[in-house]
Structure 1
Amino acid sequence: MAHMVFCTKYKAEMEGLDEPPFDSDFGQKIYKNVSKKAWAAWVEHQKMLLNEYRLQPWTREAQEFLVEQMNAYFFGEGSALPKEYVPPSQ
């Protein structure tokens, strides 16, 4: 049976992640409150942040920034887009 959560992003009962994304209290919070669909949307948003800010994901500064953005994305006001960001045209 699928792990179900009330998704904080989509405000609906949805299928949750198969396991916590991190071995921490924050990872448990995401596991209990974020759907697979919302996590997939975050992964795409994170790629944009990495590219737009030219982040080196192995650095502590980049990791701390991404965790702050992830917290805002799922549990706060939302992760802000960079001022210079122009969405790709389809």
Structure 2
Amino acid sequence: MSRTVFCRKYQKDLEGLDFAPMPGAKGQDIFENISRQAWEEWQHQQTMLINEKHLSMMDPNHRKYLQAQTDRFFNNEPFDKAEGYVPPEK
């Protein structure tokens, strides 16, 4: 049975994650307050940012930048998007 969380991003009860996506307090906060839908959307955005901006997760500054964008995304604040990305037409 899936668990439900009150999602910070969407401000409603939605299906939660099965486990914390990272260790520590930040991972626990995401587990308790972010829905599976919001996490999957962030994963997509994060991948585009890493690819378009050529981020290296070995670089502490790049990790710090990505963490800041993660927080902005989940708090409904403006966040960086991949420049030049055009979604495919349906």
What TM-score comes out, normalization by structure 1 length? 0.86
- Which runs of 5 or more residues in structure 2 are unaligned? none
Identical aligned pairs, as a percentage?
Answer: 35
Cα root mean square deviation, aligned: 1.6
What residue identity is the alignment partner of 2:70? M
Q: Which amino acid in the other structure matches residue 30 of structure 1?
A: I
The alpha-carbon distance between structure 1 residues 26 and 61, as it changes in their structure 2 partners (threshold 3 A), is same
**Is the counterpart of residue 55 in structure 1 residue 90 in structure 2?**
no
1:1-90 map, 5 Å: 1-82=1-82, 84-90=83-89
Q: Structure 1 regions of 5+ residues with no counterpart?
A: none
Q: TM-score, normalised by structure 2?
A: 0.86
